[in-house]
Amino acid sequence: MRARTAAALITLAAAFSTPVAAEITVSFVGPQTYTDAGGYGPDAERNLRILDRHITTQGARCIAKNALLRIDILDVDLAGQNEWWHAGAYDLRVMRDITWPRLDLAYRWQDMSGNVLAEGREKVSDMNYLWHSAYVRNDSDGLPYEKLMLRDWFERRFCRAAAPG
């Protein structure tokens, strides 16, 4: 009995001493008013799920354990433009140099004590997104240009800031 109690106490102590994973929260504020989150209904919902998953992954990569990051997505304008008027090409998204991806977002990064490490509102965009085509062409999950844009933004905003030295 004592051995079980001691083992349980050791396990409990280890659980409290193990760093907790970073907490990443993504909120989509007023998605029905977004400039372009994709087609209506299921397409837009799928795109927002992809963005949520990617932002969470990037946050986990860059934000230290025991830290909190909240990102509110205020507007989405996906790369390209839906050109439904092309004959026989329903739901055709055409990429042009003037239809780069854009996200309007607000963020708050803090440690577990509540100290704010960084916060702000930014319009994240990639005007040169077509130059990256060869690097993202094989992304089967969707939104390759937006994901590359967000990866680069996380690298600049959070990964480098969190790196020691």
pLDDT in tens, 150-163: 999 999 999 987 66
> What is the three-class DSSP state of 70?
strand
Average pLDDT, the chain: 84
Helix 144-154 to helix 42-62 angle (10° resolution) is 30
> What is the three-class DSSP state of 124?
strand
Q: What is the pLDDT of residue 38?
A: 87
DSSP class of 19? P
Least-confidence region, from 15-29, 95-109, 120-134: 15-29
Q: What is the pLDDT of residue 14?
A: 44
pLDDT in tens, 112-138: 899 999 999 999 999 998 887 766 666
> What percentage of the chain reaches a pLDDT higher than 70?
77
Q: Where are the alpha helices (DSSP H) in 18-159?
A: 42-62, 133-136, 144-154
Q: Are strands 93-94 and 81-82 parallel, antiparallel or unpaired?
A: antiparallel
Q: How far apart are CA 43 and CA 48, in angstroms?
A: 9
Record the pTM. 0.81
Assess contact for 72 and 115: CB atoms under 8 A: no
Q: What is the pLDDT of residue 162?
A: 61
Residue 91: HSE in the Cβ half-sphere, 13 Å Cα cutoff: 5
pLDDT in tens, 36-49: 998 777 889 999 99
